[in-house]
Amino acid sequence: MASERKKILRDIANKIGAREDLKDIKKYFVENLGLLNPSEITFYKDEFIQDGVAEKDYQVLLNMGLEIFRETIQNQKPIVPKGHPVHTLMAEHALLLEYANELQSLVRALSKGEREPRQEFLSRIRQLIGFFVESESHYLREENALFPIVEKHGLTGPPKAMWSEHQDIHAIEKNLFDLNSETDKGLTNSLEKMSEVSLSLANILASHFYKENNILFPASIRMFSEEEWDTVVQDFDDIGYCSYSIRPVGKGKPTEVVSDEGEVVFGSGKLSVEMLEAIFSHLPIDMTFVDAKDRVQFFSESPERIFVRSRAIVGRSVQLCHPQNSVHVVEEILNDFRDGKRDSAEFWINLGGKTIHIRYFAVRDDEDNYLGCLEVSQDITDILKITGEKRLLD
């Protein structure tokens, strides 16, 4: 089969060398080879050139293969209905490839003088580059919402490989971003180099998206349960989308409060009461929660408390927990939280030679109803002494 594809590629190279119509050659390519990974064309480069194919004709052959490959991936139909997370990702793939192809075509035409670098063309280049800046959320959703669940099902190789390719894509995008300029002159001077970078981006996206569309996504569809897909949607929502994303639809947060195993169920996981108590007791901060009626409901028991707290204060009015000369400040903060005038307040004081940072946060539900106030106190004396960087363990 490989030898047959090689023979057809050689025939196409001959047609290019004979200066036959490129549209007819492209049609012949699609009818006889269909979707061919361009890397296979590069495999035969030295052999074809030694066999008499001109370098420029080989390059036309390779570019044609790349173009057909990108167009095929871009036009691939979603394998799930709209509203599914995979539909969102595949739709973004198609758009990103479309943007990459348009960028490469436009920049190439401008750099070769086939078009004048008019304002509208330069503005479109900046807009297209902006779409790739936004695409960071696409990769973050895959890496942090999709890949972990794929790995839970025992499939660790593909996510690892895809994540590595994300880094390669980001490296190319960084080159593209560095070439961008707010001035028309600066952008015009970068067009030739940008043409090379945009071509590299279009090619790596086509190859990468093909693997995800045809290997990773079908595997996840086979493995994931409905509950897992709903978790993916929730994580997608938390991470965020591109301006051109088609948002998926999920069932919302779980209604279960306590699992059958006695664990407290959160949207982001489950913890036993023992785990929760251990976590709160190990935090390097003091936390106190006051409910919407201004009554103390909870305080953490950190190993080194900043302010004295006793179990007797639970259920007590928070106003009674402060000296009279500071009650008015507490009430002002709580009233502002309740009225929606502010969402936080912070202070820092010197206490026994230590700098104490005190913050108050309004706690609200999904419908913006006020649930109470969270007080967080922290000794930041040593933090204020930090300089430079520390990347390794001592």
238-260 residue pLDDT tens: 999 999 999 998 776 655 677 77
Q: What's the CATH number of domain 85-239, 3.40.50.2300, 1.10.10.410, 1.20.1250.20, 1.20.120.520?
A: 1.20.120.520
CB 197 within 8 A of CB 100: no
pLDDT band with cut points at 50, 70 and 90 for residue 333:
very high
**What span, in angstroms and rounded, lies between the C-alpha atoms of 36 and 80?**
24
Which tokens in the block code for residue 168?
Answer: 């390669």
Give the percent of the chain with pLDDT over 70: 97
134-176 tens-digit pLDDT:
999 999 999 999 999 999 999 999 999 999 999 999 999 999 9
CA torsion 363→275→305→322, rounded to 10°? 30
Domains 85-239 and 283-385 equal at CATH topology level:
no
Convert the pLDDT of each residue in 94-147 to its tens digit.
999 999 989 998 999 999 888 888 899 999 999 999 999 999 999 999 999 999
Three-state SS for 189? helix
Collapsing DSSP states into helix, strand and coil, what is residue 253?
Answer: coil
> Hey, where are the domains in the chain?
2-74, 85-239, 253-280, 283-385
- Domain 283-385 homologous superfamily, CATH: PAS domain (3.30.450.20)
In whole angstroms, what is the distance from residue 348 CA to residue 357 CA?
4
Average pLDDT of span 213-232: 93
Mean pLDDT, range 291-305, rounded to an integer: 87
Any idea how long the chain is?
A: 394
The rounded percent of the chain whose pLDDT value lies above 90 is 56
* C-alpha distance from residue 43 to each of 38, 153, 204 (Å): 9, 35, 17
Is residue 319 within 8 A of residue 330, CB to CB? The reply is yes
Mean of pLDDT values over 21-27: 91
| Token duo for residue 189 | 């001077």
Mean pLDDT of 11-19: 91
